[in-house]
């Protein structure tokens, strides 16, 4: 599948969960939404535990604040629960 190169803001967003460990060993997770054109961080959510439902709440908040993208690139890792995100994105055509 070819990579979509955005020509303007909010055409393509990238969404992913990431994780790291603090000095004392506790895990911290982040959910990030980035505009693929200018790398603007649209949303960053951090906690010791993040599930797909929380990521969808972040997307819903963005949906209320700005124009939705034409396409969304997503992390296909097991903890992203791609099915839930696909269900969210389908009505907007992402």
Instruction: Read off the pLDDT of residues 45-81 as tens digits, 9 standing for 90 and up.
Output: 999 988 888 888 999 999 999 988 988 887 765 555 6
| Number of domains the chain is built from | 1
C-alpha–C-alpha distance, residues 60 and 26, integer Å? 29
β-pairing, 27-35 with 12-21?
antiparallel
Q: Is residue 84 part of a domain?
A: yes
Q: Which of helix, strand or coil describes residue 45?
A: strand
pTM: 0.77
Domain that holds residue 48: 15-92
Q: Is residue 2 part of a domain?
A: no
Cα 87 to chain centroid, rounded: 14
Residue 87: which residues within 8 A CB-CB, separation 6 or more?
Answer: none
């Amino acid at each position: 599948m070819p990579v979509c190169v955005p020509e303007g803001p909010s055409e393509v967003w990238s969404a992913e969960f990431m994780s790291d460990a603090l000095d004392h060993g506790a895990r911290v997770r982040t959910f990030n939404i980035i505009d693929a054109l200018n790398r603007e961080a649209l949303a960053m959510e951090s906690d010791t535990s993040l599930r797909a439902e929380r990521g969808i709440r972040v997307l819903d908040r963005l949906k209320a604040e700005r124009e939705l993208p034409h396409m969304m690139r997503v992390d296909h890792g097991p903890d992203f629960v791609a099915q839930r995100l696909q269900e969210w994105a389908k009505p907007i055509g992402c």
